[in-house]
């Protein structure tokens, strides 16, 4: 079971990012903002956030525990 305690004043966008990263996704820095990269266990599913995420939204999510990672294909490991 996933147990998260988020402040009630967080925006829905920040809440979604924190939840997706708790499920295994990671925030990845890209040109022009951030993107949410799916966890390896989610390969067959549609991505959680197809659009670029604004910097201020990503930074707020990071302050509340969202995970940050490197792009999966950084060293050619993507399928």
What does the pLDDT average to over 22-27? 87
Q: Which residue from 52, 65, 51 is spatially nearest to 15, judged by alpha carbons?
A: 65
**56: its two tokens:** 């201020």
The answer to whether residue 4 sits within a structural domain is: no
pTM above 0.85, yes or no: no
The answer to whether residue 20 sits within a structural domain is: yes
The answer to whether residue 60 sits within a structural domain is: no
pLDDT band of 3, cuts 50, 70, 90: low
Cβ atoms 34, 25 nearer than 8 A: no
What does the pLDDT average to over 9-38? 87
Cα separation, 7 vs 77, in Å, equals 36
The answer to whether residue 26 sits within a structural domain is: yes
Q: How many domains does the chain have?
A: 1
Residue 23, domain extent = 12-40
Task: Report the interhelical angle of 12-22 vs 55-63 (nearest 10°).
Answer: 60
The answer to whether residue 32 sits within a structural domain is: yes
Cα separation, 75 vs 22, in Å, equals 24
Instruction: Kindly report, residue by residue over 31-77, the tens digit of the pLDDT.
Output: 878 988 887 777 666 656 667 888 999 999 999 888 898 776 555 44
């Amino acid at each position: 079971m996933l147990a998260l305690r988020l402040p009630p004043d967080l925006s829905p966008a920040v809440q979604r990012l924190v939840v997706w990263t708790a499920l295994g996704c990671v925030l990845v820095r890209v040109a022009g903002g951030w993107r949410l990269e799916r966890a390896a266990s989610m390969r067959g599913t549609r991505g959680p956030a197809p659009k670029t995420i604004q910097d201020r939204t990503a930074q707020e999510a990071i302050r509340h525990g969202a995970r940050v990672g490197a792009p999966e294909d950084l060293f050619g490991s993507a399928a």
